[in-house]
Amino acid sequence: MLSGNFDSFIQIIDSAEKIVLLPHIYADGDALGSCGALGTFLKASGHDVTVLIQEPVEDKLTFLPKIAGIEYILFDEEKYVADDARYDLAIAVDTSTPDRLGTREKVFHAAKIQARIDHHAAGGDFTENTLLDPAWAATAEGVWLLLTRMGFDCEESRPEALTEEVKRSVASCIYTALVTDTGCFAFSNVTAQTHRIAGRMLEIAGNMSFVYHHVFEVKSMAYTRLMKTVYNKLEFPAEGVASVALTQADFDEAGAGDSDAEGIANILRSIQGVHVGIFVKPDKVPGKYRVSLRSDDHCSVADVATVFGGGGHVCAAGCGFAARDDEAFSRKMAELIDAVKERLK
C-alpha cells in the first residue's frame, strides 16, 4: 500500500530550486538508476539538481553514468560543511534508514526540506515527506509513477526541455533499476505493473540487452578465482545442507573483496536437493566471521540466525560468530549445522 501522496510530493519538488538526490551507500542499480532518472528529468525541468554518491560506482554499473543525463558526484566530506543548508530539498532515494546515507546524512538534514522515495517496507519513518510502496519491485517503479504525474509521458503537458534524448536517458535508467532489483524479472516482487513499465521503457529507449550483459553476465576475474575456491571447499555436512567457509587467505589469493562474495549462499541453495545454503566468510575484525544463510520452505533460517544473535527473513538471514583458532572455528561450524538440522523439515 502506498504511504504518502504524489500531489504533495510534487508540490515539494516544484517549490524547490536546488535539489540533492541521495541514493543509499554502496548504491545498487535501483538506487543509481532511480537517481539517474529522477535527476535527469528534474534537470530538464529547470531544477538545479545534484546526485551525490558515497562511493565510486561499482564496476558492473559503470555504464549507468554514461546513459544518465546527469552526473553522479562523489561525496567529498571536506567540501560540505555541517549545517550548511545549501539545498532547498534533499531526497533520500531507495534508502530505508538514515544511516544508509553514510556520511551524507548531514547533507540530508542540512537541507531546508527532507523527502524520501523508497520501496523498503522495513525501516524508519525518518521524514514526513515520504513516498513509499512496498509493492513496487524497485524504487524506480515509484519514480516512473511520479514522473508520469509530472507530465513525463504526456505529449501535451511535458516540459519543453524534455527532448527525445532526455526521455531515452530516463527510460534507460529506470529499466536498469528494474532489471537489477528484480534479478532480471525473476524475483517474486515482480508484478504486472513492473512488466508494463519495463515494456514502456523499451518503447522509449529501444534495445536494452546490454543491461543484462553488464549486470548479470559479466563476471570479474577476482569473482571467478574466488568461485574456484568455493567449489573446492564445498561440503554437504548433512542431507539437504550445503556449506562453504572461506578464509581471508582465500579472498587475498583471489584478489577478491566483499562484493565478489555476494550471492554465494544463493548459489549453494540452488543445488538440487539442497534446502539450506550456509556461506561463512571472515569479518573485517580478525577472529570474527559472518554467516549468510539461504533456504527454501523446508527451514526458517531466520530462526537459525537468531540462535547466533543475528536475524533476517525466513528464507534469507545472517549472523556472526567469533573463533580464535581452527578448533574453535570447527566447533562453531558444527553448532551452526546442528542448529540448521534441528529446524530442517
Where along the sequence are the contacts to Mn ion (CB under 5 A)? 30, 94, 139, 181
Cα–Cα distances in Å, from 131 out to 40, 41, 96, 197?
19, 18, 12, 18
Burial of 124 (0-12, 13-18, 19+ CB in 10 A): exposed
Closer residue to Mn ion in complex, CB, 181/260:
181
Closest residue to bound Mn ion by CB: 30
User: In whole angstroms, what is the distance from residue 98 CA to residue 114 CA?
Assistant: 11
Rounded least distance, CB 285 to Mn ion, Å: 29
User: In whole angstroms, what is the distance from residue 248 CA to residue 291 CA?
Assistant: 14
Closer residue to Mn ion in complex, CB, 88/181:
181
Closer residue to Mn ion in complex, CB, 123/320:
123
Closer residue to Mn ion in complex, CB, 143/170:
143
Rounded least distance, CB 34 to Mn ion, Å: 8
Rounded least distance, CB 317 to Mn ion, Å: 19
Rounded least distance, CB 179 to Mn ion, Å: 12
Rounded least distance, CB 17 to Mn ion, Å: 28
Closer residue to Mn ion in complex, CB, 136/152:
136
User: In whole angstroms, what is the distance from residue 279 CA to residue 242 CA?
Assistant: 9
Kindly state the cell numbers that stand for 60.
Answer: 558492473
Closest CA to 279 of 234, 331, 240: 234
Kindly state the cell numbers that stand for 230.
Answer: 568455493
